[in-house]
Amino acid sequence: MLAVVCPGQGSQTPGMLQPWLELPGAGASPSPADLLAAFSDAAGIDLVAHGTTSDADTIRDTAVAQPLIVASSLVALRAVLDGRDAAEVVDVTAGHSVGELAAAAVAGVLDDAGAVGLVTRRAQAMAEAAAAEPSGMSAVVGGDADEVAAAIELLGLWPANVNAAGQTVAAGSLDKLALLAENPPARARVIPLQVAGAFHTPYMEPARKVFEPVARAWKAADPRLPLLSNADGAPYSSLSLGEHGHGTAVDVLARLAAQVTAPVRWDRCSDTLAEMGVTAIIELAPGGVLSGLAKRALKGVELVAIKSPDDIEAARDLVARHSAVNLGDAARQNGA
């Protein structure tokens, strides 16, 4: 069983789109250059320039980073699929924070350009909220989970991301994050993150108020394959079946809006992937972080993190060997 996962903010690096722009189109598939031109139009910003020549400080800006990451993920997806529909080969998808918008495109809720356009609106709202009041995020690595949670709560901070056992991201005011770093929980390290604000906390309430009506009115379709929610790790079908049995567009858009202020429970997404019996995971570009978490949380699962076009063939091999949808179609064609 094959999962496709989509990375979140912080995974971007300078020049990451350059090797993709050198790839030609294949068959009926548009070239990465054509896709990125369309994505730049949807975003209203030059994603090609930001993905090739902009420096680290420029692409750290939330308003740039989020559409850049989603665009990169979707370019990689189309290269791996090579003209095939994701619903033909992907058994389940999920995305971390902003990556959930890319995952919504994998599931067919949003078209690719629509996902980039919507995430740009999200990014702009979150950047404005972050600029209004200084705040930040710090990774808390190691320690006892209950003690880490207690320390975060005691200081009036929030667990913005619960990524895995032994990795929680605390968020809130900069002075309280400094106190956490000065007095970390036992056997834990506190690592400040280079982000603009306390995402997935009440600090983002102004952004949620701006983004929610935009998201709810966005053009969308019901998911065509299982899509996991950051809120609790459950597939959207747990809310309502929808046209394809995988939840409804209305529910997805509502949760994408609520996600701006709600914690990201990637640990629960990992638990669901394990419960579903996932045997392989492709992490779309700019891959690496989620694959690292999966190595510890999902022992024995084959992983391919797409960092450049050099990883496309390995990803396609994973599709051929692990896609339950793909293998089921082959078995039916062979009369099995």
What is the predicted pLDDT for the residue at 334? 42
Structural domains for the chain: 2-131+202-333 (3.40.366.10), 135-192 (3.30.70.250)
Is 217 a residue whose pLDDT tops 60?
Answer: yes
Confidence category of residue 331, pLDDT binned at 50, 70, 90: very low
Enter the DSSP assignment of 184.
Answer: P
| pLDDT tens, position by position, 50-84 | 999 999 999 999 999 999 999 999 999 999 999 99
What is the predicted pLDDT for the residue at 28? 63
Helix axes 62-81, 32-43, angle to 10 degrees: 150
Judge whether 95 and 8 are in contact, CB under 8 Å.
Answer: yes
Q: Which of 50, 96, 200, 246 is catalytic?
A: 200
Nearest to 282 by CA among 121, 57, 10, 77: 77
Residue keyed to tokens 């979707």: 74
What is the predicted pLDDT for the residue at 26? 60
Is 265 a residue whose pLDDT tops 50?
Answer: yes
What is the predicted pLDDT for the residue at 333? 41
| pLDDT tens, position by position, 99-148 | 999 999 999 999 999 999 999 999 999 999 999 999 999 999 999 999 99
CA angle 192, 196, 200 (to 5 degrees): 85
* Alpha helices per DSSP H over the chain: 18-21, 32-43, 47-52, 56-60, 62-81, 99-106, 112-132, 145-154, 174-182, 205-216, 249-258, 266-276, 289-297, 312-322, 324-333
What is the predicted pLDDT for the residue at 332? 37
Residue keyed to tokens 């509502």: 254
Nearest to 79 by CA among 124, 137, 17, 170: 17
What is the predicted pLDDT for the residue at 25? 67
What is the predicted pLDDT for the residue at 43? 98
Task: Provide, rounded to the nearest whole percent, the portion of the chain with pLDDT above 90.
Answer: 90
* pLDDT mean over 315-328: 88
Q: Which two tokens stand for residue 323?
A: 């896609």
| pLDDT tens, position by position, 27-58 | 567 899 999 999 999 999 999 999 999 999 99
Q: Which two tokens stand for residue 94?
A: 């999920």
**DSSP symbols for 67-115:** HHHHHHHHHHHHHHHTT--GGGT-SEEEESTTHHHHHHHHTTSS-HHHH
Helix axes 205-216, 249-258, angle to 10 degrees: 160
Q: Which of 11, 54, 97, 270 is catalytic?
A: 97
Distance of CA 149 to the CA centre of its chain: 24
Weakest mean pLDDT among 121-130, 273-282, 323-332: 323-332
Is 336 a residue whose pLDDT tops 50?
Answer: no
Determine whether 97 is an active site residue: yes
What is the predicted pLDDT for the residue at 27? 58
Give the C-alpha separation, 238 to 241, whole Å.
7
What is the predicted pLDDT for the residue at 330? 46
Q: Cβ atoms within 10 A of the Cβ of 309, count?
A: 18
What is the predicted pLDDT for the residue at 195? 87
Give the C-alpha separation, 69 to 67, whole Å.
5
What is the predicted pLDDT for the residue at 324? 86
| pLDDT tens, position by position, 157-211 | 999 999 998 899 999 999 999 999 999 999 999 999 988 899 999 999 999 999 9
Residue keyed to tokens 């350059």: 18
| pLDDT tens, position by position, 8-34 | 998 999 999 999 998 876 656 789 999
Average pLDDT of the chain? 94
What is the predicted pLDDT for the residue at 325? 80
| pLDDT tens, position by position, 279-304 | 999 999 999 999 999 999 999 999 99
